[in-house]
Structure 1
Amino acid sequence: MSQKSSSGSAFRRRARIGVYLATSALLVGTACSNADDTAEADTVEAPSSAFPDNPATGTPVKIGVINPEGGPAISMPNNRRAAEAAAEYANAHLGGIAGHPIEVVTCAAKEDPASNQDCANQMVEQGVAAVVVPSSGNGAVMVPIITGAGIPYVTPSGTTPVELTTPSAYALNSGFPGSLASMAAYSAQQGYKKVAAFVIDTGAVIASTEALGDATFGAAGVELQLAPVTPGTPDATPQVSAGVADDVDAVAIVGDATMCTSVLKAIGTLGAGQEKMVIQPCLDPSVVDAVGTTLDGATAFLGADIDSDGPEAVLYRAVMEQYAPDVDINGFTFTGYQAMLGLIRAAQGVEGDPTPQAIDAAIRTAVDVPMPAADDITFTCNGTAMPGMPSVCANKGIVATVEDGKAVDPKVGE
């Protein structure tokens, strides 16, 4: 079956503990790619066992999707399309949820508190059995409404403390805390003494990086220095020039595709030779096209593997080819697929009607659920994956090398 992200004084601020925002808040600043162009992808063959003849036939179960679309700064329709594709795949081949076909109920949020709050209220009014949020910085206004109505809230990676600590809210992967911890461990392994982190200058991301810096890099014996970069900065040469002049061994880039492009272009222009550590948005096709070989050799810390021959990567490409063939599968598109299929897999233990309570109980008690689009990673949402963040369901991420704009040789990192 044929299937397929300042001044010199700001730069020298040391990361410090003191803010409890141990979150993956970078998603707000990083998942901002507006690319709708369809990337040319290789045709892939998924095993027939991944597409069993098991259509859902019962009465529909409503699953909500709240996705940033149509806002002045952030719009990611591909995330929603990926969530819808995962639901279509499950309806045709996995028996939906407990044999009931999934009816996707969507709400486009403009990534402002009022809009996201309105979407949360719409989900309650629509009587959905669960809500999937591929990416948002406004979980703090949505979670109380949704979970307060007894409805489970599922996101790939939470962006606020509320999402990481509230019962019935589930953040499937370790997100930014996990990526930062992996970067720190990798830096220590490589013998780095000082790392410059070019970070998109939104309050949440800067606060998160500061809050986690000493707990990760400091504990690893590596000095982390922050270089804030204003969102939308077309030329980050001043920041990069100041950063790489400060005797650093490596640079980390934490931001959206636009910021990745700006920083990487400056690195190329300056001929900076430091090792590079990047996150998923830096592999967006728009970045690769703009910076050329500057990305080659970088170490990528990812929430998903979409390029390898691993079964989960192949399945992602195959599902997207069949159910959303016109969608660019790169960048952060995977978040919608990962959240929706993660929910579906965790809810397979539902017996009887897939009510919000039944789905919530199934997610909470499911053990070692395979993480969609992330081979060799599982999630368990019993509150033990990350200390202090009971809603986080996994503590591992993917580390890969960048070659020709692709993540190669992906490995699971702690």
Structure 2
Amino acid sequence: MRTTAEMRTAAASLGRRTGARPGRRSLGAVLAASLALVVFGAACGSDGDAPSPANTTANAGVLGPVRAASGEPVKIGIISDGATPGFDASAQLDVADATAAYLNERRSGIGGRPIKLVKCKTQGDPSKATDCANQLVSDDLVAVAVAESGVIDDIWRPLAAANVPTMVYGAGSPDVLADNESTFALGDPNYATLQMPISLAKKLGVHKVTAVVIDVPAALHSAQEVAPGAFAKAGLEYQLVTVPPGTADMTPQMQNVAGAHPGLVFVIGNDSFCISAFNGLRAVGFDGKISAISQCVTDATRKAVPADALKGMIVSATVPNGGTDPSTVLYDAVLKTYSHGIGSADAVIGRGMFMTLAGLATATEGISGTITPATVIATIKAMPERELPGSGGQKFRCNGKADPADPAVCVRGGLSTTLDDKGQPTAFEVLGSTPIGN
């Protein structure tokens, strides 16, 4: 446990690590963060050991051989927003238990020692998030795993100040992504709005991308200041069309788009904005390729946009929910074997937590000797490129080279999926991924 003097020293160093800088957060990151609704209340505490395994034999081939951890447990912190008045992410905690049980029985825990979880729920309250982080800092943990949270900055500050290694799944905060000391982010913040359309255009053999973007500041920074250079560097022509939010009928704007040889039309906005764009393109008879960020396609979209307009559309994806790819088969087997019955909706909510906790274990493979926050950080930074568990085949490496402008980032590229005639995802594909070198 850290002394009071050490805590004060760590807190004093935070100012050197969190100075404000111009944000490079994309709209995709903004919208993803907004899904974790900001509310109030909290509950913090240790939940003890992970549940005992069940139904192990049935999934043995998928889970791999038994390699049980033993010895003194290694304490890992888990922070989730948990249940809130507007959104219930409690499944993240259940998935964390199941993941720890799997890692302890099949992956030798961390350094051969069993993982013991210490869990805390913020319920979306910034002050409770800070309390959670401070509690975990004082609880002699070696690392913390956080999936999606609406209060990630408030979670991160005390952990960063104390140099506690923190692996996060969903993070768009510039300060979090700029941390080159103890934070490791399992998502490419530029993928959804930049790297995906660039990669997709190259795959389709088109030489121009027309971005139809909601006219709000969070979206326009990337679309106006970052995108032109990125597309030019990729050898692609780029055209930006901005439309105010709340525009119910985009037929006039989409007529102009369709008449200007748009190449790939890429839509960035929330579902109501995208519904208007999709229907506008359909109304003017556009038959070219349309793509969009994942936030465009919801149940509301499927009801408001004809199936023939959605069929074949390629959209970004945060996690490969559904399907039969090996990472999904593994995730399903872990839940079936080690959880107490997690439903399909909760499995979707918990997927990011599985990727984060299993990713932490993967990143620390080979750690030996005394396991401390410092040795965990060193091991993670020295890891070779590996596949991120549960991610649909994405690779990660946390040496600060995946995106030098955001050294916490460990992943290049992301997932895409093609919609079927019901607007549902089919197979998932990794786009924009290149090896992360030394």
State the match for 1:298 in structure 2: 313
State the match for 2:48 in structure 1: none
State the match for 1:105 in structure 2: 118
Taking a change above 3 Å as real, the CA distance of residues 192 and 209 of structure 1, as seen in their structure-2 partners, is closer
- 1:355-366 equivalences under 5 Å are 355-366=372-383
CA-CA distance at 1:398 after TM superposition: 2.4
State the match for 1:171 in structure 2: 185
The one of 74, 83, 87 aligned to 2:100? 87
1:172-225 Cα deviation digits (max 9, x unpaired): 2313446522213424643435220348x5x65554555532233454321233
State the match for 1:29 in structure 2: 31
For 2:314 and 2:344, how far apart are their aligned partners in 1?
26
For 2:164 and 2:27, how far apart are their aligned partners in 1?
23
For 2:319 and 2:397, how far apart are their aligned partners in 1?
17
Native 8 Å contact 2:144 2:165 kept in 1: yes
For 2:27 and 2:103, how far apart are their aligned partners in 1?
29
Q: Supply the AA of the counterpart residue of 1:26.
A: G
State the match for 1:406 in structure 2: 425
- Aligned to 2:343, what secondary structure does the other structure show? coil
For 1:168 and 1:341, how far apart are their aligned partners in 2?
18
Taking a change above 3 Å as real, the CA distance of residues 335 and 49 of structure 1, as seen in their structure-2 partners, is closer
The one of 212, 225, 238 aligned to 1:222? 238
State the match for 1:325 in structure 2: 342
Native 8 Å contact 2:196 2:431 kept in 1: no
State the match for 2:325 in structure 1: 310
Native 8 Å contact 2:170 2:187 kept in 1: yes
1:138-174 Cα deviation digits (max 9, x unpaired): 4433333102212101112431122222111111231
Tell me whether 179-188 or 58-67 shows the greater mean CA deviation.
Answer: 179-188
State the match for 2:226 in structure 1: 212
Q: Supply the AA of the counterpart residue of 2:183.
A: A
CA-CA distance at 1:134 after TM superposition: 0.9
Taking a change above 3 Å as real, the CA distance of residues 269 and 181 of structure 1, as seen in their structure-2 partners, is closer
Taking a change above 3 Å as real, the CA distance of residues 395 and 61 of structure 1, as seen in their structure-2 partners, is same
Taking a change above 3 Å as real, the CA distance of residues 228 and 315 of structure 1, as seen in their structure-2 partners, is farther
Quote the RMSD (CA, aligned, Å): 3.4
Native 8 Å contact 1:87 1:96 kept in 2: yes
> Which structure ranks higher in relative contact order (CA pairs < 8 Å, sequence separation ≥ 6)?
1
CA-CA distance at 1:349 after TM superposition: 1.9
- Aligned to 1:100, what secondary structure does the other structure show? coil
Q: Which runs of 5+ in 1 are unaligned?
A: 1-18, 36-44, 230-235
CA-CA distance at 1:84 after TM superposition: 3.2
Q: Supply the AA of the counterpart residue of 2:213.
A: A
| 1:121 aligned onto 2:134 | yes
Native 8 Å contact 1:252 1:277 kept in 2: yes
Native 8 Å contact 1:381 1:391 kept in 2: yes
1:297-330 Cα deviation digits (max 9, x unpaired): 1112234334443322321222233325324267
State the match for 2:22 in structure 1: 20
- 1:267-306 equivalences under 5 Å are 267=277, 270=280, 271-272=282-283, 273=286, 275-281=289-295, 293=307, 294-306=309-321
The one of 375, 386, 390 aligned to 1:373? 390
Native 8 Å contact 1:25 1:160 kept in 2: no
Q: Which runs of 5+ in 2 are unaligned?
A: 1-20, 38-57, 434-438
For 1:121 and 1:367, how far apart are their aligned partners in 2?
31
- Aligned to 2:103, what secondary structure does the other structure show? helix
Structure with the greater alpha carbon radius of gyration: 2
For 2:27 and 2:276, how far apart are their aligned partners in 1?
25
For 1:251 and 1:110, how far apart are their aligned partners in 2?
38
Q: Give % identity.
A: 24
1:108-144 Cα deviation digits (max 9, x unpaired): 2244533332222222133322111212354433333
| 1:162 aligned onto 2:162 | no
| 1:334 aligned onto 2:351 | yes
1:63-120 Cα deviation digits (max 9, x unpaired): 2222233456555333443333322221222122122222222222244533332222
- Aligned to 1:277, what secondary structure does the other structure show? strand
| 1:247 aligned onto 2:257 | yes
The TM-score with structure 2 as length reference comes to 0.73
Taking a change above 3 Å as real, the CA distance of residues 317 and 186 of structure 1, as seen in their structure-2 partners, is same
